[in-house]
């Protein structure tokens, strides 16, 4: 690649295989017993280190150049371009927003910055076409997580063979999309930049590297010091890419899973206008103009959580994805901050009319599921005691075993709570699915209040009701997981729930399972009633709700739930829950 060609003589240091040799050739300390007082000259270690990186990337060691961090690799690369220029003017095409350090490096080396949109890369190349142009693409992009398609990159590379393409793949471990790595086998105008800092959790070891055509690596290496990597960094890299690789791959999956769970849940938060869930180990959360993002960041720091304002000068934050416990902690803090001045007034609906056919399994002595005992009291009693903390009135829709349910509740519920309970009887409980119970509940509630919907047989952590009460949008509480064919599936696409169905054909967008807890904004009550009145006997209320109004997801994150369909599910309650959590 002409843009990189230079006649510099590289700085070389002789590596050795004999560890017992006395070094008197590099002006280092020769008498200290401390390993760190000496340069890392072990030839075998250097070779094993380079081979581990090359093998992981599927290339030869001659295609690899390593230095201390990908920022330094970029600096060396930009230095090489600047030094090797054939004219006084070099243009670097970038797609903002992008890695801010790149702007600094280009300015330091007097390289002209040309900004463009993703769709206009070829237009800009045509405008500045010469052998003194390169294109920088971070893929996935930082900070947006956007990822150019592989076919698009390959087409650009193939069409513009006199243009150098720098593809920064610092975040490539957090996507299932194809890397551009194999382009280095077919094209000499591609440089891939990677790091061990992100996916491999080695930020403090400072390992970055580039992958390219051998002649390119040779030319770029003229600007690199071969002693820049410490022994400990090499050893940790070898471990990461060999013995520890399976665990890191599981961590990649965990980050991608938590990215979706946290990012999608953020769309349900008050004042959040947009959430960008890209292909990095981060999400972007954007707020409306009533939120001062600088103040929000400060308040999170007061709670020992640090996030960053990104993109610069936007009313948004970039959040690095971590374990689900940490993401849950951040989510609850955001809820508190964003909801600090608002008190939501709710009514509650508990759906408790079901016949429990699968649960009874032919044993008519077993009562309806909502009345099963959880150690000290029936499930429905626990739900009432929990819901009454957040709602003005609870509308309990009953059907099967209705008189038994009322009698037990009258014995176990205190008088003050009884006065805030309204029973709604569904006489068609054996003929219609649960949509009719929900219709009766909605027709009964105060239409000037938001609604919390709670299925009578759903068992989940009580904290989820508190979290739902702090939201301001229509929300289904869901758990991201693989589910059986017979279960209700939540289909999430185009930033909202598009379908709730047991028989969906949209398998690519199945999020997981609805746990039986939802929030309905008062403005959507009448449209839902109108849609429910059009239902057929076998419909489900969840399916009709998403037809009538847009719904977001709040993920259960750290909390468990059981949809109690069978006696086995009932037996598993004590295994999954502490009774105080219900």
> Among the residues of 242-286, which ranges form H helices?
245-266
- Return the pLDDT at 468: 95
Q: What is the per-residue pLDDT across 6-23, written as a single tens digit (0 to 9) for each?
A: 888 888 887 777 777 777
- Return the pLDDT at 358: 65
Q: Domain 2-243, CATH 3.40.640.10 — does that match?
A: yes
What is the spatial distance between Cα 212 and Cα 371, in angstroms, rounded to a whole number? 67
- Return the pLDDT at 342: 63
- Return the pLDDT at 341: 58
| 3-class SS string, 333-380 | HHHHHHCCCCCCCEEEEEEECCCCHHHHCCCCCCCCHHHCEECCEEHH
Alpha-carbon separation of residue 406 from 107, 160, 272, 455 (angstroms): 76, 77, 42, 17
Helices then strands, counting H and E runs in the chain, come out as: 20, 24
pLDDT mean for each 10 residues of the chain (582 residues):
85 78 72 69 91 96 96 95 87 93 94 94 90 90 94 96 95 96 96 96 95 96 91 95 95 96 96 96 96 96 95 92 97 91 83 76 68 86 94 95 93 95 95 94 96 93 94 94 81 93 87 94 96 92 95 95 78 73 72
Environment class of residue 423 by beta-carbon count within 10 Å: exposed (0-12), middle (13-18) or buried (19+)?
middle
Beta strands in 109-183 (DSSP E): 112-115, 133-138, 164-168
Residue linked to tokens 């463009």 = 116
Are 209 and 240 spatial neighbours (Cβ–Cβ below 8 Å)?
Answer: no
The CATH class for the domain spanning 248-338 reads: alpha beta
Environment class of residue 480 by beta-carbon count within 10 Å: exposed (0-12), middle (13-18) or buried (19+)?
buried
Q: What is the per-residue pLDDT across 245-284, written as a single tens digit (0 to 9) for each?
A: 999 999 999 999 999 999 999 999 999 999 999 999 999 9
Fold of 346-581: Spore Coat Polysaccharide Biosynthesis Protein SpsA; Chain A (3.90.550)
- Return the pLDDT at 24: 74
- Return the pLDDT at 37: 61
Q: Which of 171, 203, 178 is nearest to 98 (CA)?
A: 171
What is the spatial distance between Cα 213 and Cα 432, in angstroms, rounded to a whole number? 68
What residues does each domain of the chain span?
A: 2-243, 248-338, 346-581
């Amino acid at each position: 690649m002409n843009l990189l060609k230079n006649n510099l003589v590289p700085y070389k240091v002789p590596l050795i295989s004999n560890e017992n040799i006395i070094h008197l050739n590099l002006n280092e300390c020769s008498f200290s017993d401390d390993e760190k007082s000496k340069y890392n000259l072990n030839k075998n270690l250097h070779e094993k280190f380079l081979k581990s990186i090359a093998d992981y990337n599927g290339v030869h060691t001659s295609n690899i150049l390593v230095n201390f961090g990908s920022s330094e690799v970029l600096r060396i690369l930009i230095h090489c371009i600047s030094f090797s220029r054939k004219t006084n003017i070099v243009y670097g095409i970038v797609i903002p927003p992008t890695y801010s350090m790149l702007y600094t490096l280009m300015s330091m080396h007097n390289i002209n910055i040309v900004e463009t949109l993703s769709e206009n890369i070829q237009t800009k190349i045509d405008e500045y076409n010469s052998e003194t142009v390169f294109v920088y693409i971070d893929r996935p992009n930082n900070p947006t997580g956007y990822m150019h398609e592989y076919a698009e990159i390959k087409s650009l590379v193939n069409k513009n063979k006199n243009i150098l393409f720098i593809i920064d793949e610092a975040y490539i471990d957090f996507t299932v999309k194809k890397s551009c790595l194999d382009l280095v086998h077919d094209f000499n105008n591609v440089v891939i930049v990677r790091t061990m800092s992100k996916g491999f959790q080695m930020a403090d070891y400072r390992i970055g590297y580039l992958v390219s055509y051998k002649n390119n690596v040779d030319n770029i290496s003229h600007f690199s010091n071969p002693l820049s990597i410490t022994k400990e960094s090499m050893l940790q890299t070898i471990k990461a890419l060999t013995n520890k690789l399976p665990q890191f791959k599981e961590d990649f999956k965990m980050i991608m899973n938590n990215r979706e769970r946290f990012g999608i849940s953020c769309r349900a938060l008050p004042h959040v206008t947009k959430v960008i869930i890209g292909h990095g180990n981060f999400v972007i959360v954007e707020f409306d103009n009533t939120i001062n993002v600088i103040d929000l960041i400060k308040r999170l720091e007061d709670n020992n959580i640090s996030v960053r304002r990104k993109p610069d000068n936007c009313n948004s934050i970039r959040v690095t994805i971590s374990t689900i416990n940490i993401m849950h902690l951040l989510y609850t803090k955001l809820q508190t901050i964003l909801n600090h001045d608002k008190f939501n007034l709710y009514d509650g609906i508990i759906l408790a009319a079901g016949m429990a056919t699968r649960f009874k399994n032919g044993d008519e002595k077993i009562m309806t599921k909502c009345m099963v005992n959880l150690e000290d009291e029936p499930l429905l009693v626990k739900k009432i005691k929990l819901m009454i903390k957040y709602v003005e009135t609870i509308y309990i829709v009953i059907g099967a075993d209705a008189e038994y349910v009322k009698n037990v509740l009258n014995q176990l519920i205190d008088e003050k709570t009884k006065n805030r309970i309204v029973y709604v009887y569904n006489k068609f409980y054996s003929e219609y699915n649960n949509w009719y119970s929900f219709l009766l509940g909605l027709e009964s509630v105060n239409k000037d209040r938001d609604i919390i919907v709670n299925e009578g047989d759903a068992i989940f952590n009580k904290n989820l009701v508190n979290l739902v009460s702090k939201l301001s949008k229509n929300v289904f509480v869901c758990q991201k997981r693989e589910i059986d064919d017979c279960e209700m599936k939540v289909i999430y696409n185009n930033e909202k729930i598009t379908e709730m169905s047991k028989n969906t054909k949209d398998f690519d967008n199945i999020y997981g399972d609805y746990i039986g807890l939802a929030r309905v904004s008062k403005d959507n009550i009448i449209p839902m009633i109108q849609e429910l009145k059009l239902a057929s006997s076998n419909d489900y209320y969840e399916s009709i709700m998403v037809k009538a109004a847009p719904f977001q997801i709040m993920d259960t994150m750290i909390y468990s739930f059981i949809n109690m369909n069978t006696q086995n599910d009932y037996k598993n309650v004590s295994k999954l829950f502490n009774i105080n959590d219900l």
